[in-house]
Structure 1
Amino acid sequence: PTGYYIAGGALAVAFSFLTLALLPPAALDRFWRRRLSLFTVSDHPRTVLSLLSLAGFVLLIATGLFGSRDPLSNPLPLVIWTLLWAGFTLLQGALGDLWSWLNPWYGPWRVASRVFSLRTDEADPSRLPKWLGYWPAFVLFFGFAWFELIDPAPDDPSRLAFAAGIYWLLSFAAICVFGYEDWSRRGEFLTVFFSMVVRFAPLQREKGRLHLGWPGAKLLSASSLPASGTAFLLLALSSVSFDGLSKTFFWL
């Protein structure tokens, strides 16, 4: 309902400003930096989970191309628009960096780097020019938002499967050219978006160890974004806000 949508947003903004205005900065800083160390999480399953994620993605693409043309019967639109874009974003912000484990490019990159002896990011960390900043991710996210909000049939399974499949191939090609770390951090818009969302999660993983802290505490140690990163963040906020507003009775 539109009333709850507006009231919730207004209360969240008002509470944030009151907290910043009334609490002493030093006390607020100490409070937010407190955290509980939990246990160590190994990186070993990451490649396997990524490959399984890719296998599921390929199956969904095949379903979109050769399955039912009805968006309500084909699972691809449900997975992309509801489970991934809406549901997984909430999980990422609540449970921590799940995307780094399910990223469908990491596993293939690890396999390709071994099979074809591709150079690692440590060997050549500057293949993606620094002056590009986050603009590649901005452009790709803009295309994604346009497809979701402007395209007349974003739920059409075949169109969605074609777009998602082409995007995976282009992103993997960019990873092979620029390196996984560089392209993921500044070029692949899903990873850039989820890396921003995860800063609000109470669960944080540092140097292999899982910590439980306050939601949003990681923002205290986050470095400032360049102009391109700020533009990406504003684009993400505006597109997501419009997506939500367009589903309310006020807009309809």
Structure 2
Amino acid sequence: MDWLVLAHGVGNAEDLPIPRDLAIAGAVGALVVSFTVLALAWRTPRYAAAHGRPVPAIGRVADSAALAWTLRLVGVALVGFGVYAALLGEDVLINPVFRMFYVLLWVGIVPASLLFGHAYRALSPVRTINLLVAKVAGTDPSEGVYRYPERLGTWPAALGLFAFVWFELVYPSFNELGPVRLWFATYLAVMLLGGVLFGDRFFARADPFEVFSSLVARLSVWGRDDDGTLVVRSPLANLARTPVLPGLLAVVAVLFGSTSYDSFRESPVWVSFQTGYDGAVPAPLLSTAALLGFCLLAGLLFAAACAATGVREGTSRWALGGLFAHSVVPIVVGYFVAHYLSLFVEDGQTLLIQMSDPLSNGSNLFGTADWSVSYWLSLHPTLLANIKVLGVVLGHIAGAVAAHDRALELLPRRHQLTGQLPLLAVMVVFTGGGLLLLFAA
């Protein structure tokens, strides 16, 4: 599936109007300067208790049953269309199933959640099916047979996310229809069984796509007050309200580590390394080890930096990783922008074209089969490269702001500045390393 590989990279270093080393130094400098300004001018936490501005007119529409069921039907229709193309369509790369799976579902979660909030939860086909089953059975969809174990937190979602990125980035037959059908069928079966056993809470904790969407939605302007009223609020204030659950750090580590690995696997260093071991060690085994290594390294570096800070009495150092994990979300979003922007724009257009002919028989169901793809972004590589670098830099600065605000809540006064230095160091490593990987891809 060459389209998925070629659209990921940032392009060559020559695409930038400034040298690569200077771009990385500037990005790291911007992060350090931002931290210095925060340390001097921001002495009290601002976001955790920030209030939003109610928007009652929009709230009435957003909370209406008509909109809820419209979105549910859209989600079911998209899944139904995908199943139709997967079961009856040909096993060729122009089958829209592949782009629905890798582009619309995976990459589309980010812009949809940034713009509209908890987008996947509103569209979730498994929530809708669970609701319909509960209505037929006369039971409450929010309650299952058992209570969801709180100690599990979002660990199941972290495992589900790793299963997806492994399938996309490592599994050799990721571009064949049979394995894609099997992966999604397994996902649906596990989610529906979990819904029966634990109710809707299972989806909020264990559905990899819903958990991912909910984290990104914390960076939207839409939020809820304690009484459930829809409000407009600073994205960083919404982010500060991210529930601290077991496995949260694992989720963001998988998201960040897998995106970094996706750049790394396209670099000459990794390609040469794999070629050197060709035949001696199976390539999927090497790739699996590298992907897992990137995810573990991201999580362990961040957890260690958090543990190195000073803590108030009664707070475990190793609990700080989860308390600060929300600050990695802007970094993840920045990397998604940098890594998948051209993929989403250009392959998204291709998907609209392919959806008109799901069975590859020359049909034109939606009148889009004759459309052509605009490669305007790819034809302006300097602009594209600068947008991607800017995405990384702004994501890291927003992450630094979120981490600083949380540090003011958690750290004793005497450690509020020095305690953040390990976090700054790991942010610098993430920034420089991430940009190096983007240039190398």
TM over 0.5: yes
2:47 corresponds to 1:25: no
Seen in structure 2, the aligned counterparts of structure 1 residues 241 and 114 have a Cα distance that, compared at 3 Å, is: same
Q: Aligned residue pairs: how many?
A: 246
2:185 corresponds to 1:165: yes
Seen in structure 2, the aligned counterparts of structure 1 residues 52 and 90 have a Cα distance that, compared at 3 Å, is: closer
2:102 corresponds to 1:85: no
2:89 corresponds to which of 67, 88, 95: 67
- The 10-residue stretch of structure 1 (188-197 or 149-158) with the greater mean CA deviation from structure 2: 149-158
- Higher strand fraction: Structure 1 or Structure 2? 1
State the 1:217 CA deviation. 1.8
Aligned partner of 1:37 in structure 2 is 54
TM-score by length of 1: 0.82
| CA distance in structure 2 between the partners assigned to 1:12 and 1:55 by the alignment | 45
Instruction: Give the fraction of aligned pairs with identical amino acids, expressed as a percent.
Output: 24
For 2:63, what is the secondary structure of its paired residue?
A: coil
State the 1:198 CA deviation. 0.9
> What value does the CA root-mean-square deviation take over the aligned residues?
3.0
| CA distance in structure 1 between the partners assigned to 2:117 and 2:152 by the alignment | 28
**1:166 maps to amino acid:** T
| CA distance in structure 2 between the partners assigned to 1:101 and 1:10 by the alignment | 38
For 2:245, what is the secondary structure of its paired residue?
A: coil
**1:250 maps to amino acid:** A
Aligned partner of 2:163 in structure 1 is 143
Seen in structure 2, the aligned counterparts of structure 1 residues 154 and 137 have a Cα distance that, compared at 3 Å, is: same
2:261 corresponds to which of 212, 233, 242: 242
TM-score by length of 2: 0.50
Larger Rg belongs to: 2
Q: Which runs of 4+ in 1 moved over 6 A?
A: none
State the 1:137 CA deviation. 1.6
Aligned partner of 1:130 in structure 2 is 150
| CA distance in structure 2 between the partners assigned to 1:246 and 1:166 by the alignment | 27
Unaligned runs of 5+ in 2: 1-9, 267-437
Contact 2:191 2:207 in 1 (8 A): yes
Aligned partner of 2:175 in structure 1 is 155
Q: Which has the higher contact order (CA 8 A, sep 6+)?
A: 1
Aligned partner of 2:212 in structure 1 is 193
| CA distance in structure 1 between the partners assigned to 2:88 and 2:144 by the alignment | 42
| CA distance in structure 1 between the partners assigned to 2:249 and 2:122 by the alignment | 26
Contact 1:65 1:162 in 2 (8 A): no
State the 1:100 CA deviation. 2.1
| CA distance in structure 2 between the partners assigned to 1:116 and 1:31 by the alignment | 41
State the 1:36 CA deviation. 3.2
**1:37 maps to amino acid:** P
Aligned partner of 2:388 in structure 1 is none
Contact 2:162 2:254 in 1 (8 A): yes
For 1:52, what is the secondary structure of its paired residue?
A: helix
Seen in structure 2, the aligned counterparts of structure 1 residues 43 and 241 have a Cα distance that, compared at 3 Å, is: farther
2:135 corresponds to which of 107, 114, 118: 114
1:204 corresponds to which of 179, 201, 223: 223
